[in-house]
Amino acid sequence: MTQELLESVRALRIGRPLVVAIDGPSGSGKSSVSKEVARRLRIAYLDTGAMYRALTWHCVTTGIDLEDAAAVEQASRDLVLEVSTSPNEEYVRVDGVDVTDAIREPAISSAVSAVATTLGARTELIRRQRDLIEKHHRRMVVEGRDITTVVAPGAEVRMLLTASEEARLRRRGLQLGGTQNAEELAAQVTHRDAKDSAVVNFTQAASGVVTLDSSDLDFEQTVDAALVIVTKVLNRD
């Protein structure tokens, strides 16, 4: 995308809401692409998956049974959580403890679905996510699994970022620095998606949601394609 066109998009939305909702499966590039889109649009950024991971970390470290839905829901209400909303820095804190790296550990990745599929906990975290969107005057890129349909169905731009299973496994492997074998990668990517799809559909675009398949695109090409989608959708207004 040319700088001139990007500037025109930013100018078009000065003082106006611009929520870009991006959903997609594990390894599709949601976080890195969404963060860069937010940076270029000069708006806030929210990784909702980090919130579920933070709650999972809290439950695991405090000994809460992840199968006890009532206990997990209560933990979600009690959770003292701080999460970055800037695309230029990353931090997640639980009760003042920096858990930015800890929530990405394999043990948390393998447990997060149990928390994410607890409906009471989802309801509480969705409430917090909506509060953060409003706090930033509805100028934010929000990424996750149910953003386009549940968290922000009225977003100005709604997008499903997807990729082939092969591409997603390869990217997640690179992200983890080759520290996990094929079976562990599959557990993180495809198995988790299968569990989470029991409560939310993030593999097929809902009505009005634009699909971006990044299977054959590199990072810069994917970011440019996402910004082109933003431009086209906004120009329809």
Is 28 annotated among the ligand-binding residues? yes
Burial status of residue 65 (CB atoms within 10 A of its CB: 0-12, 13-18, 19 or more) = exposed
Fold for domain 3-235?
Rossmann fold (3.40.50)
In the 3-class helix/strand/coil scheme, how is 152-194 assigned residue by residue? CCCCCEEEEEECCHHHHHHHHHHHCCCCCCHHHHHHHHHHHHH
Is 25 annotated among the ligand-binding residues? yes
Is 26 annotated among the ligand-binding residues? yes
State the greatest distance between any 2 C-alpha atoms of the chain, in Å, as a whole number. Answer: 53
CA of 206: how far to CAs of 13, 32, 149, 158, 179, in Å?
25, 23, 7, 9, 35
| Residues forming beta bridges with residue 144, ordered by sequence position | 23
- Kindly give the confidence (pLDDT) of every residue in the chain, 237 residues in length, as a single tens digit, with 9 standing for 90 and above: 667 777 777 776 788 999 999 999 887 889 999 999 999 999 999 999 999 999 999 999 999 999 999 999 999 999 999 999 999 999 999 999 999 999 999 899 889 999 999 999 999 999 999 999 999 999 999 999 999 999 999 999 999 999 888 877 776 655 555 555 556 656 566 666 655 555 566 667 888 999 999 999 999 999 999 999 999 998 876
The structural domains of the chain, with segments of one domain joined by +, span: 3-235
Look at the block and give the residue holding tokens 């550990």.
105
Give the separation between CA 18 and CA 194, rounded to whole angstroms: 31
Among residues 145, 128, 150, the alpha carbon closest in space to that of 55 is found at: 128
Tokens of 106: 């394999």
Q: Is the pTM of this model over 0.85?
A: yes
- pLDDT digit string (tens) for 41-87? 999 999 999 999 999 999 999 999 999 999 999 999 999 999 999 99
Look at the block and give the residue holding tokens 């082109």.
228
Is 215 annotated among the ligand-binding residues? no
Tokens of 73: 């829901």
- The pLDDT of residue 173 is 56
Is 24 annotated among the ligand-binding residues? yes
CA of 12: how far to CAs of 134, 159, 219, 225, in Å?
20, 20, 25, 19
Is 84 annotated among the ligand-binding residues? no
